[in-house]
Amino acid sequence: MASRQAAHRRKHNNRFSVLLITAVVLMITIVVAVKCADLSRKVTEYEAREAQLEAQIEEQEARAEELVEYEKYTQTMKYIEDVAKSKLGLVYEGEIIFKEEN
């Protein structure tokens, strides 16, 4: 009878151990799944941010190129003439200026 009770206790302890191990594995699986979903969301956010930053880089590179072209233009005689005519009102000798009547 004592061996029968001992066997019953071992069987009961084994069931409890299996149940406990199953619960721990299930909790670990849930935690991993939640973290995986969170990381997936972050990856999507980072990819969108990366695309946005790449677009900004392209815009700034285009702007830098425009500035280089403008710098070249400001060193030409055409620019000097345009500034002299528009801001200073200067003209070449013998040049006639026509103004609109308001």
Cβ–Cβ < 8 Å for 56, 62? no
- Of the CA atoms within 13 Å of residue 38, those in its CB half-sphere come to 6
Q: Residue 47 and residue 39: Cα distance in Å, rounded?
A: 12
pTM of the model: 0.54
Tens of pLDDT, residues 33-78: 999 999 999 999 999 999 999 999 999 999 999 999 999 999 999 9
Tens of pLDDT, residues 73-100: 999 999 998 888 888 888 888 888 777 8
Domain ranges of the chain: 2-86
